[in-house]
Chain A
Amino acid sequence: MSSILGSRDRFAVSRKAKKTYDLIVTKHKNLKSHGQLFAYAASWGIAAGARSKLKSKVDLAIMSGLKTKEYDYESLLGVVISCLHPDASPDERLQILQEYAEYGISKIREHFDRYRRLSFQQLVDEMTAKKGTRE
């Protein structure tokens, strides 16, 4: 486990959000893992500058899911959170990250509902264009 995001080996989402994760990951074969989707969600939240509190927190996946030989979301997200929240401890950083992801997944759900699938190109456009508000 990386020291950037604390000592926990799992990252959590809200119960409601988990359904979304399950649905979308099932729907899209090219989405490799929940962790990947989590990274999307967290990126959206960070890009939007918006977080949502987790209600009915459940563990989604293990932290190692954020870092594979194809991608390293842990470093990416960890570095960004560390910069945005320099005073936060690693565990706090994870918490913050989860909140960013919580916001982000709700937006992804909206996207999904609109397009009935993830249009990755559209997703990129939306994620890079829109700024959200903190909940």
Chain B
Amino acid sequence: MIIKSVTIRNFRSYKGEHTVNLDVDGTRPVILVYGKNGAGKTGFINSILWCFYGSLFFGSTRTFAVRQVNKDVKKGKSFDMAVTVVFEHEGKKWVVKRNLEYVGSGSKENTMSYKGDQGGPIVSVDGDFQEDGYVAIESVLPMNAAHFHFFDGEQMRRYTREKNTEEVRKAIELVLNLPTLINSKMDLDKTLHEIEDERSKIAAKNDRYTDLLAQREEIEQGLEEVRGKVEHHTIELNKVSEGLSIIEARLAQYDELKDKIDDLRVLRTELSSLSEHLKSAKNDFGTAIDRIPHVVLHEHVKKAVHSFKKKRREIEEGLRIAYSEKAKYDAMVEMLEQGKACSCCGAQPGDEQREYLASEIERLGAAVKNQTEGKRVSSELLMLEERGSEALNDATSASTEITVLQAQIAELNNKIRAARQESEETEKDLRGVNEELYAADRKNREDLGIIKRKESDALDDLVLQRNELENSKDEIEFELDKHSVDDKEIREISKEKTRAADSLEAVSKLIDAYVHEMKAQVEEGSSEILRLLTHKRETFDRVCVDGTFAIDIVDKQGEMISRSDLSAGEQQVLALSFMGGLARASGSRSPFLMDTPFGRLDKEHKQNILRMLPELSTQVVLFVTNDDLDQYEESILNRRISKIYEVIYDEKKRSSHIVLRT
């Protein structure tokens, strides 16, 4: 990077527009700029810093830009401030501009509104405007590194202060173009972290999975145990229940038997009643025994009566016929015995008629003769019939009565038999009741009842526990499904992590090696420059940059010389040595703009520095007071100076300006 020109407009003491040509050639890299105190040297450097970064000197905060506006200009209602830096970098022309315009009105700074500045520098490279000016500038000369190149001499010593080691480290990294590697490292680190996060998530998921598996196993163990207990208690409960059932059955039998006592009483009463009835029935039978023959001969009597009736009717029919025949008989007798004529025809009966009459008389005579017998028999039959009918009535009623009685007695006997049997059985059963056993059973029932309740309660608790465990297991199974991790996924992510870690390690090693190398180079370069700059060449051996990037001097004995033991000037020399060493190690050819770096230095140191300055970079702009360099000292630089300028503050114009001396 070589600054070609700087155009300042209304910046600090520079009112109006001022352009300074800072171009150098290869053999004359130095531009000397003289100026009295307050002429505007620092302002010039600050203008470049402001243009590039919007901030000022190393260590200052980003001040509100408006404060940099020339005071006279700021008094106006409208004004602008701008700085344009033109430089060449890697063969390309860069134009960097930053401006600030005041628009609006207001008497106080904080009510003013501006445009520009906040957006960053406007950068064009070979005419191509860069989208992001900050990024563009950072790619050429990072802000942190800029302070190694654009600095106040008084500020140099800060590199040696412990509290600034972190800043120094960062600056070194930037100067040595470590950002790319560092960014790669950071990217890798970020990637690694992301992978680690991913892996952690997966691991967490896996851990969670493993936890869940462990929990499930625990639950399964617990479940098995509880199930075993449930089974055991179930068996015990069944045993108790069985025992209880047996006792209950026995007690039920006892109670049933005891109830039977009442039944027995009733039965005995019934038996007694039945016996009475039986006695009564037997008595009745007894009274009926008179009529046993009637019962036995019932059918015979019935048959006899019927027979008598029939016979009598026959006889009476015969008698009726006989009676009707009597008249005829008497008539025939009269005819035959008295020789009378027939009443019908009046004829006298002949022999034939006499024979007929005689036979008829004989027949009818038998009938008439039998009539008396018939009446007698009929009468007898009637008597038999009547007596038979009475006997039949008796027999019928007796038969009925005895049949009823027999049935009654049979029934009563059956009932009595059944009642007696039942009574005997009941009494037998009752004799089997052992009161002691009964009492023992009752006690056992009570005890078993208590045991059963306890077992039942225990079982209920265990079943509840089992159900809860089963529910927990189900929940865990559900969670397991959610958290199941594919082994392949784990392997892949692990591989990825390993690769990233390896890459990171490689890059870290590379960076470490590079830093180490660079540090060594810085040390070597710094040491070389120190030897050029210091007059204690016999004492100071080399510069040492430790791990914390603290810069120290090591003496010839290898002892570290404490910085507090160095004078301010020596510290300044040390710092400059370091900056030179850094510049060499980086290979960066960014310009150095130094503002009065010789403040505390003695002549020897100053001269040594002057000799070394041209080697520092391809462009060194040295701002010195008019008294900083004498002729000799200027002559040291003569052959290496491209231009000499002077910054002059014109009190009349109330503005600084830079004029070319040579």
Q: Chain A interface (Cβ within 8 Å of chain B)?
A: 3-4, 30-32, 36, 39-40, 42-44, 46-47, 70-73, 75-80, 82-84, 86, 120-121, 123-124, 127-128
Contact = CB atoms under 8 A, between A and B. Distances in A.
Given A30-B286, A75-B390, A79-B301, A124 B406 contact: yes
Interface stretch (B57-65, B212-220, B288-296, B317-325): B288-296
A79 to B, nearest CB: 4
Nearest to B405: A121
A79 B304 contact: yes
A131 to B, nearest CB: 12
Given A75-B387, A76-B391, A76-B394, A120 B301 contact: no
Contact of A80 (B289, B292, B300): B300
A36 B290 contact: yes
B279 interface: no
Contacts of A123: 292
Given A43-B297, A121-B285, A78 B292 contact: no
Interface of B: 285-286, 289-297, 300-301, 303-305, 307-308, 311, 380, 383-384, 387-388, 390-391, 394-395, 402, 406, 409
Nearest to B291: A71
Nearest to B392: A79
Given A70-B290, A78-B387, A83-B300, A121 B409 contact: yes
Given A47-B296, A124-B295, A79 B290 contact: no
> What are the nearest 6 A-B pairs in CB distance?
A83-B304, A79-B388, A75-B387, A43-B293, A43-B296, A76-B391
B304 A44 contact: no
Contacts, number: 93
B327 to A, nearest CB: 32
Nearest to B386: A75
Given A86-B311, A121-B409, A127-B296, 11 more contacts: A42-B293, A43-B296, A46-B300, A47-B296, A71-B394, A72-B387, A72-B394, A79-B305, A79-B387, A120-B292, A121-B406
A72 B286 CA distance: 17
Given A40-B292, A70-B290, A76 B384 contact: no
Contacts of B380: 3
Given A70-B290, A83-B304, A124-B402, A47 B297 contact: yes
Contacts of A80: 297, 300-301, 304
B382 to A, nearest CB: 12
Contact of B304 (A30, A47, A82, A127): A82
Contact of B390 (A30, A44, A72, A124): A72
A4 B384 contact: yes
A84 B307 CA distance: 10
Contact of B391 (A31, A32, A42, A79): A79
A97 B620 CA distance: 187
A45 B57 CA distance: 169
B319 to A, nearest CB: 18
A112 to B, nearest CB: 15
Q: Max chain B CB contacts within 10 Å: which of A47, A75, A76, A77? A: A76
Q: Is the interface of B mostly helix, strand, loop or mixed?
A: helix
Contact of B293 (A30, A40, A83, A121): A40
A76 B301 contact: yes
A4 B385 CA distance: 12
A124 B289 CA distance: 9
Nearest to A47: B296
B303 A83 contact: yes
A43 B292 CA distance: 9
B304 A124 contact: no
Q: Max chain B CB contacts within 10 Å: which of A44, A83, A84? A: A83
A114 to B, nearest CB: 18
Q: Max chain A CB contacts within 10 Å: which of B291, B292, B311? A: B292
Contact of A83 (B285, B296, B308): B308
21 contacts: A30-B289, A36-B289, A42-B293, A43-B296, A44-B296, A46-B300, A72-B387, A72-B390, A76-B294, A76-B301, A76-B394, A77-B293, A78-B384, A79-B301, A79-B308, A79-B384, A80-B297, A83-B307, A121-B285, A124-B295, A127-B292
Given A76-B391, A121-B285, A32 B297 contact: no
Contacts of A124: 292, 295-296, 402, 406
A123 B406 CA distance: 11
A67 B532 CA distance: 189
Contacts of A127: 292, 296
Contacts of B388: 75, 79, 83
A60 to B, nearest CB: 16
A72 B391 contact: yes
Given A4-B387, A78-B387, A83-B308, A120 B285 contact: yes
A82 B409 contact: no
Q: Max chain A CB contacts within 10 Å: which of B296, B297, B388, B409? A: B296
Given A75-B388, A80-B304, A128 B295 contact: yes
A62 B468 CA distance: 109
Contacts of B297: 43, 46-47, 76-77, 80
Contacts of A121: 285, 406, 409
Given A43-B296, A83-B300, A124-B295, A76 B395 contact: yes
Given A36-B290, A83-B304, A75 B391 contact: yes
Given A46-B297, A80-B300, A83-B308, A71 B384 contact: no
A104 B305 CA distance: 23
Nearest to B308: A83
Contacts of B307: 83, 86
A124 B410 CA distance: 13
Contacts of B391: 72, 75-76, 79
A70 B288 CA distance: 10
